[in-house]
Amino acid sequence: MRLSQNVADIGREAKKIIVAIDGPAASGKSTTARRVAGKLGYVYIDTGAMYRSVTLRALESGMMDELRLTPEKVRFLLEGIAVTFEAGRVFLDGRDVTSAIRENRVSRHVSFISSLKPVRDHLKALQQEIGSGKGVVMDGRDIGTIVFPDAELKIFLVADVSERAKRRHRELLPGNREGGLLPSIDELKREIEQRDRDDAVRAHAPLKKHPDAVEIDTSGLTIEEQVECVYRLAMEKIAGTAECGAGA
């Protein structure tokens, strides 16, 4: 997979930090990360969108129907893909897939694709390259534990599963593309629970909280409150970094 060059280059110059936001499905990571990045003037990288794009490509190329994805097939899948983030949209080989990667058929298969080691190794290397200049807010499942264990600020967002299912339901309303079939809140709850289990028990980079991560339960918080909370923590870290760093 290739990523657009401009994304990789932004934020290399100034003294900046890395904000890693992890947590289970639909815990508010993407919205929080995007808004915090906007307030900080940082680049936002949605690593879930990268895993979802690979999954969409596997589905579209019929590879998911096959019983076994051999390492060769996975390599072929990854090498042919270019993912670009631009103005809050996600492009797969130049095609706007922002809605398509959120469809439920992708959600149902993404944990399987994300459990494959070659996929994880490939995306981890890209994510580390993007973050090498700092000034990024990256969200996912293993950002604070595996991709950037030295990130200055690590956040672990959690929320009650019923609340998360309701949020996902609201998100799917306008953009639902499965022939008008909107999953019920109960179905979404079951899928979210299943995906959380799959993500937590996999052998490579399972979902877990880094011991240094600040855990925030967003169940009773508004988006503004959770954004403000993470932003404040980031500003504290930036102030700390600026004081300590030579030439800050």
105 contacts: CB under 8 Å, gap ≥ 6: 59, 178
| Segment lying near ligand CDP (by CB under 6 A), choices 10-18, 140-148, 174-182, 211-219 | 140-148
Which 13-42 positions form the footprint of ligand CDP (CB under 6 A)?
Answer: 25-26, 30
Q: Which of 42, 44, 51, 85 binds ligand CDP (CB under 6 A)?
A: 51
Nearer to ligand CDP, 26 or 233 (CB): 26
d(CA 168, CA 222): 15
Residue 236's DSSP bridge partners are none
Nearer to ligand CDP, 35 or 52 (CB): 52
Give the type of residue at 142. D
Residue 77 is a binding residue for ligand CDP (CB under 6 A): no
Residue 142 is a binding residue for ligand CDP (CB under 6 A): yes
Residue 134 is a binding residue for ligand CDP (CB under 6 A): no
| Segment lying near ligand CDP (by CB under 6 A), choices 34-42, 135-143, 153-161, 225-233 | 135-143
Residue 145 is a binding residue for ligand CDP (CB under 6 A): no
Q: Which two tokens stand for residue 248?
A: 């800050």
Instruction: Output 67-75 pairs: Cβ under 8 A, ≥24 positions apart.
Output: 69/116, 71/118, 74/116, 74/118, 74/119, 75/118
Nearer to ligand CDP, 158 or 235 (CB): 158
CB of 247 to ligand CDP, least distance (A): 33
Q: Which of 183, 199, 210, 227 binds ligand CDP (CB under 6 A)?
A: 199
CB of 68 to ligand CDP, least distance (A): 19
Q: Is 87 left (phi over 0), alpha (psi -120 to 50) or beta?
A: left
Identify the sign of the CA torsion 59, 63, 68, 69: negative
CB of 236 to ligand CDP, least distance (A): 25
Q: In the complex, which residues of this chain contact ligand CDP (CB under 6 A)? A: 25-26, 30, 47-48, 51-52, 110-111, 114, 140-143, 195, 199
